[in-house]
Amino acid sequence: MKAILFILTFNFLFFTYSFAQPTRWQQHVKYAMKIDVDTFANSFSGKQRLEYTNNSPERLDKVYYHLYWNAFQPNSSMDARSRELGKKNVNGRQDWDGRVKDRILNLKENEIGYQKVISLKMNGVPQSFKYHETILEVQLTKPIMPNAKVVFEMEFEAQIPLQVRRSGRDNPQTGVRYSMSQWYPKMCEYDNEGWHPTPYVAREFYGVWGDFDVTITIDKSYKLGGTGVLVNASEIGWGYDKQGTELKPTTSPKRTWHFKGENIHDFVWAADPDYKHIVRKMPNGPTLHVIYNEIKGNFQNDTAWTKVADAAVKVLPFIEKNFGKYPYPQYSFIQGGDGGMEYPMATLISGPSLGTVFHEWMHSWYQMILGTNESMYAWMDEGFTSFAEDLVSKFYNNKSSIEEYKDALKSNPANENLQSLIAAIPDDHSGSYASYFSLVKSGLEEPMCTHADHYNTNFAYSLDAYSKGEIFLEQLGYIVGATVRDKVLLEYYKKWKFKHPTPSDFFRIAEKASGIQLDWYKEYWIHSIKTIDYSIDSLWEEGGFSKIRIRRIGQLPMPVDVQLTYNDTTSEMHLIPLNLMFASKQKENQLPTLVEDEWKWTHPTYTISIKRKLKELYKVEIDPSKRMADVERKNNVLELNW
């Protein structure tokens, strides 16, 4: 039977439900690190005390550490992988990472990076260890038992590499002296799937939740920004104690900066003698820092970075309303790195582009607070962040992302390809849809469940993780309703913050909130490269009814929204749920809405019946919102000229 909903206005009703907090165990770390930097030799020595709590039910006979900077040596895995991908040609370009290329191969001895462990003890007992390039394997003399805590004490040294990827020194693009990410020996994650000693080849990171206490001793002329709160701000000054103060003088050739961060899974810092510092204090919220290196002769640089600070103040209330409250006392936008790279309580960005600023800041939610395994689920990191970035940019600019395409069409109105593209993409997240369609056409698409380092091309990884991942959320709004999807995101944040959620954890939240089964969506959209293509097949009259047949051409089944518009200018929406959903979304707009019987995914066609003459019908359109990533939109619309 059809459920007929001709209500013109309505208040969306959510059933009240509560989510029990997940009981999944996770390990805990507590780092105390002291390093002494030699700015002439571009190296430092360090001491690390690490309290490691084994909250798992298993005994640990070994542990692993990341030694990321060992990747910045000729013929490393990162070097070889970049050069191999560079041999491939995608859309007329070499497929290597443009920031890496073959630069590592050409590093001189004093330009390479390394991290060397001098000594390592567990509970005072020396431990033997073995290097696997960027992974240190430690065979323990005594196992760490379940629910036990041990203390590792390490002495290590490092040479800061010439800036290549994310971290390094003497950045030629920004002029920043030191971008210090992945700079310390970092305990690998051990979770319910076991150890994750992922070699540093190209992609992102996965870390253990804990607390960091870091002191950095460096030449007194340097100014620093980073993760955590500067606890000795009264000694340092430079805007950390009071806004506008200068760096305090010292008679010592070096000064020590002391940072602390709690409930985080990584730590970044950056340093430069010419850094400038802008501070904004949010009412009842975090302190925002913008730290940048003014390029000499570029008067506009101050203006651009001030705009970053003001934009952050403007958008934070919107972000917290839609994605959850920012839980830390501060956040720093720091110029450095090689583009944009997120870390807890800070980001390294090469320039003041607001798009990059919003993207990297949203990573605080989708990775720094919701710490998924980025290597395995890059789309939950980059895709969710890109989705949020688009909405934050829309709020800030007061216009949808499709406006960029429309502006381009105004400059070139005869561009038929651009006209077709605009007709095929929605107002929001339009760039992700355009990129996804180009990925499908390239024939290089791989399933989103592919490990981030194991994609055959950088091209496929980027569009899968960022664009198809972004569409995942917008299309979820098409399936369950945008209002429900928005509630899902807030519940997901509430339940899984400071934990390590997986795709299944997210889908359970979405299913509970919507009352709709979604396992089919996960299997098709994430685990396959099947595509969506629906078409209007035929129309006829039969038995006093007008019949409209819809055909599924693509291999990915979906619920289908069909809007009918009549010659009298009235319209109505027909919602056809997929049988695998075992439910339907509610109406989303003011149009009269009919929920049709379910469409069995095994059947290639579905017929709608309406009690009106066929000649009264003016237009039939599948998914007028364009949120369904249908790869051929031209067969979605039929206008009837009787």
Which tens digits make up the pLDDT trace of 164-216? 999 999 998 889 999 999 999 999 999 999 999 999 999 989 999 999 999 99
Structural element, H or E, at residue 473: helix 469-480
Whether 475 contacts 522, CB under 8 Å: no
> Is the domain covering 230-260+270-360 a CATH 3.30.2010 domain?
yes
How far apart are the C-alpha atoms of 335 and 273, rounded to whole Å? 13
Which tokens go with 397? 């600019």
For residue 301, the model assigns a pLDDT of 85
Structural element, H or E, at residue 231: none
For residue 22, the model assigns a pLDDT of 64
For residue 21, the model assigns a pLDDT of 56
Which tokens go with 208? 């253990």
Q: What is the mean pLDDT of residues 295-301?
A: 57
How far apart are the C-alpha atoms of 56 and 570, rounded to whole Å? 61
Arithmetic mean of pLDDT over the chain? 95
Whether 85 contacts 95, CB under 8 Å: yes
pLDDT of residue 107 exceeding 50, the answer is yes
pLDDT of residue 19 exceeding 60, the answer is no
Q: What is the mean pLDDT of residues 564-593?
A: 97
Which option is the CATH number for 3-13+531-639: 3.40.50, 3.40.390, 2.60.40, 2.60.120? 2.60.40
For residue 294, the model assigns a pLDDT of 74
> In the chain, which residues fall in CATH 3.30.2010?
230-260+270-360
Q: Write down the pTM of the prediction.
A: 0.94
Contacts of 194 (CB under 8 A, 6+ apart): none
pLDDT of residue 93 exceeding 70, the answer is yes
> In the chain, which residues fall in CATH 2.60.40?
3-13+531-639
Which tokens go with 499? 């934990």
pLDDT of residue 127 exceeding 80, the answer is yes
pLDDT digits (tens, 9 = 90+) for 512-536: 999 999 999 999 999 999 999 999 9
Q: What is the β-pairing status of strands 287-293 and 330-335?
A: parallel
Q: DSSP 3-state assignment of 199?
A: coil
Q: Torsion angle, CA of 177/181/184/189, rounded to 10 degrees?
A: 180
Q: What is the mean pLDDT of residues 216-241?
A: 98
pLDDT of residue 303 exceeding 80, the answer is yes
Tell me the HSE value of 281 on the side-chain side, using a 13 A CA sphere.
Answer: 8
Which tokens go with 115? 């991290």
pLDDT of residue 453 exceeding 80, the answer is yes
How far apart are the C-alpha atoms of 308 and 164, rounded to whole Å? 25
Contacts of 227 (CB under 8 A, 6+ apart): 212, 214, 259, 261, 264, 266, 267, 268, 269, 332, 343, 344, 345, 346
Q: What is the mean pLDDT of residues 207-231?
A: 98
